[in-house]
Structure 1
């Protein structure tokens, strides 16, 4: 800590005339200095500060949250045993207090001190906390125990100590993952073996149906898998995606697991064939190794034809798929040999195999279709990319629930791609043959996704805060697609299709965060930030014009009674005055007041050349007079006018 700050704090300690707790400025300084000292392990500094305060002040300071955490949690996180003991024994800090801590870039909320020490591997602090009475099974907000935290990073000595002090090995986190599962996933053989010897449930399933065997398969932990499978007779169960551990290993590309399991007599023949074919697909898309892919596909062929009396034939789709260029799966080793020199055909084989075995609902199916499309886009083949992405988006909207993050990701990827294709390099557009039909199709699918979200199970959306965030993001993505279609020249009949879809969107009255309607989003600068890469810039006059033409309510208000004109005024963009003028000339009430009793022009006072008197109507003046003189109007004027008067 800087000498100047240290002297300042010491002087505060000596000369304070009122309690530190009652002085916000002093309290803030004390909290920050104590927090940083605990983090950096400066016990002498802490004593110099806290020993001069009253017992109540000390307890308050060491227990209050700073930067979402507490001094005790920081001392536990960074391994300062002397400070931990000082806080608990001298400062009477609550050793069950919780806060947020960060490990490997991930923030864990509601973590108690024992969880922090166990996760960080500080054995001596774990011992101290338990001796002082810490609850060995105190969980975080996600229901993770200190034992699970120790299992995650392989702290065997801490795992053993916690178990000896009655840690429950079967407490699962909110996803249903147990200590055994996380040990298998992280490949900690010694811990997994110890938990199994204690009687850990080897066949327990998570919320999504995966078992410890699945975790071994996904991480490539063959040694642990052999222990589970051979010694503890773990069952090969299917998870929520109907994936067995063998198929999961093939999708992840763990050759050691696949080669071990396909030789086991306990595994069904069709499952072995599927795994070998998936392994080949993984080598194509994940490892770009055509020869290894061919090797595994040939092994699958051998399995299919091993018994001439019981040939296992492939199931063929009813229709060939244009997105895959009407490719069909090879049915023999000779057919494979004929296509091995054509990399494009091999890639289509991989997509066909994955879709047939995993099905459209599995995340990897559409992920690799989109991945293959992105590869084409990187090489300048935008048409093939759009064709594959369109197929993936259709698949997602047909099998996934509304607002699924994968569907949103597809819509955003289209917006980013179209934006890039429409951009200019050296005075020329990147891609001059962008089809308005493609852009129109994606826009219509975006409108469909919003409609699906609002009408899901017959209930209004959003249902929860998470739903609200998803819905808002999807609506923002749609605004970017709307921005793009509004810019691109098209035929009159195509323009009418866009307007009909936009009219339909407005009729279902979608509202995002803060009660924002599409017109609010069209003039909000924050709508610009929707993904990792810049897509479109807002406020945007073209989008505003399209929405107004389609019947958007110019005077719609959000939860703070802001009209779109207010939001445009708050955007502080170079073009916001132009957009404000356009809104006003289109009929927005210039003198509507928000919940802070501000008009839009008052928000941009001094930076706007709009003269309000040019737009104030006699109707507006009458409303102001009624309000200024407190004239009773409710029940005496038509209902439609009551809201108009209130807005002034």
Structure 2
């Protein structure tokens, strides 16, 4: 609640001030406030404007009416609506299942929480039954999500539109099917809900049933004319069921009596379901049985036309050049080779789903992680490189999936370097990390940055601020990898040739001269809190202290390779300013910046020097360096001019104006 509202409280309601400062939780404060609204002081307000200000004020982003509707306080909501004339459409922020819903109207809150009496109260008061949240979710969709059938029926009876979709294009029928609420789905179908309507990504209610495993609802949809459409990934509901491992859905759809799918679709579904058995259920025998059924379908005993597997599929090194079996005998042979079965699952999934489908790269990365847990780091890197190459080939620049793959590599290398520094555990020896291991990933990260800058420079309609934020995350990952390479320079076995390659690789990052969010350079990001934490909020290396600090080795290396120590961001901060905002401030980074020409007394646009920023967190610059060593006569003269406001224009040479302005 804003300070202005509290100032309007009458003197006899001073208990509110005590409540405001007590150590109770926010929820308890809200509940106490709501319980006493009616009894204590609402009737004593001096004017309607003051009352409206209180009733419309927000605590934790929610108005009293929103809180009452969320928590089922009927009497409070009734009083707020009928006596206080609260705005029944004023939205607020509420939390459901740990997720914050922004812009939720009171009716949406009551419907989502399952409070039918409150829903009726609000509708009688004239609430809009088709009001939406920021994500365009209606009260009806909220009730469908959690299975509140009585509320769904009441809202529809009072004019709720069953076809309004949220921002993702998901309708009420889709969410009821996905959540398995058969009674609601049956009711919506009785109202002639569109069973073949598609979401933004092209999936239908039939896809949602297949993914969730709701066979009874799926049968109802088919009975109402649902068709086997494909989504934006080319997935039918049958393939969706195979990917998620819902065998009963697959068996129902491939039943020849229904005639819903072709013979080729049936074969693909069985083979893909077998791959799911391998990776998700770890059921090799079950997978083999499914693959045998698919093989029998390919080469039927009744003399029908065979459907052999494609022969033009390239052999992939990451999959150990695995080739799919072409007969039942070859299938039997791979059962004795668990690794061979796992590679078959990856080959089949990539052939059927294609490299663009998220599950294709996900399971490749998953298998690589399993190998890493077993100490087979080379196999892990091989599979992850293949997944990363697939993603970069088919996904747009700065895709979250590509970022995730790059970051996984950085985490893997950090783990390996940290484990090398510890005594071997139960005889497990972690191999050393070499420059040749990191450099290919680093090059791909830089290429992703280059693609991102091209996207920013293009004339495409994009969210520029969001793109800059995404670009910064990729830059942080690149800096993480660069920090790992900088650490290799201190290894005893680092040769001159390796040192030269590391310098060349880091220089390729420095010369990009990239600018990300808030106008920050790569050196800014390396010296900032975001750069110190890395993408996942962790230290650059697992062996470094907490809280994390920027890697001094990398900062010094970037400065030696030409990074500008006095570059300014949008707030006028130099890298030295950002380092001095950290607590504790990394002394080695400060010394490296000053040694390479950073000005110790430059002010940012708020007028703060690095020393003043340190003092704000009870730290001292003198404890890190001797300030006099880095203070020049030119700096002293500039500070004197600024402090005494001496006129200098048309007195000093133009080349010195910037020196005066920055001190």
- TM-score normalized by the length of structure 2: 0.89
- The residue aligned with 2:378 is 383
* Structure 2 residue aligned with 1:623: 638
Instruction: Look up the match of 1:555.
Output: 566
1:35–1:71 contact (8 Å) kept in structure 2: no
> Are residue 50 (structure 1) and residue 42 (structure 2) matched?
yes
Q: Is the 8 A contact 2:91 2:105 kept in 1?
A: yes
> Out of 222, 225, 248, which is 2:240 matched to?
248
> Conserved in 2, the CA contact under 8 Å of 1:577 and 1:608?
no
336-345 or 564-573: bigger deviation: 564-573
One of 233, 238, 241 as aligned partner of 2:225 = 233
Counterparts in 2 of 1:118-517, with a 5 A limit? 118-229=111-222, 231-263=223-255, 264-306=258-300, 308=303, 310-424=305-419, 427-428=422-423, 431-456=430-455, 458-459=457-458, 463-488=463-488, 489=491, 490-517=494-521
Shift of 1:534: 4.5
Call closer, same or farther: CA 1:33–1:399 in 2, change over 3 Å.
closer
Deviation at 1:520, TM superposition (A): 1.6
Partner of 1:633: 649
* Structure 2 alignment gaps of length 5 or more: 1-5, 542-547
Distance 2:567 2:350 in 1: 46
CA distance in 1, matches of 2:178, 2:108: 20
After superposition, give the CA deviation of every residue in 1:290-329 in whole Å (9 maximum; x if it has no partner): 1111111111111111264522121245532111111111
Distance verdict in 2 for CA 1:583–1:388, change over 3 Å: same
Matches within 5 A, 1:27-66: 36=28, 39=31, 43-44=35-36, 46-54=38-46, 55-66=48-59
Equivalent of residue 564 in structure 1, options 560, 570, 575: 575
Counterparts of 2:354 and 2:657, CA distance in 1: 56
Using the TM superposition, name which of 602-611 and 371-380 deviates more. 602-611
TM-score normalised according to structure 1 size: 0.91
CA contact (8 A) 1:451 1:505 kept: no
Distance 1:152 1:355, change over 3 A: same
Q: Which residue of 2 aligns with 1:611?
A: 626
SS at structure 1 position matched to 2:44: coil
Aligned-partner Cα distance in 1 for 2:153–2:569: 56
CA distance in 2, matches of 1:77, 1:155: 15
Q: Secondary structure at the match of 1:100?
A: strand
CA deviation after TM superposition for structure 1 residue 546, in Å? 1.8
Matches of 1:335 and 1:191, distance apart in 2: 48
Partner Cα separation in structure 2 for residue 635 and residue 324 of structure 1:
73
Alpha-carbon distance in 2 for matches of 1:483, 1:617:
32
**C-alpha contact (below 8 Å) 2:439/2:505 kept by paired residues:** no
Aligned length: 631
Change (3 A) 1:413 1:34: closer
3-state DSSP class of the match of 2:549?
Answer: coil
CA distance 1:509–1:150, shift in 2 (3 Å): same
Q: Deviations over 1:391-444 (max 9, x none)?
A: 111111111111111111111111111111111478437624323211111111
Distance 1:37 1:484, change over 3 A: closer
Distance 1:278 1:93 in 2: 56
Distance change >3 Å, CA 566–CA 507, structure 1 → 2: same
Relative to structure 2, which stretch is displaced further, 34-43 or 343-352? Answer: 34-43
CA RMSD of aligned residues (A): 2.8
Q: Name which of structure 1's ranges 554-563 and 525-534 shifts more when overlaid on structure 2.
A: 525-534
Pick closer, same or farther for the CA change 1:97–1:58 going to 2, 3 Å: same
Residues in 2 aligned to 1:168 and 1:635: alpha-carbon distance in whole angstroms: 74
- The change in CA–CA distance for 1:361 and 1:333 in structure 2 (over 3 A counts) is same
| More deviation, 421-430/89-98 | 421-430
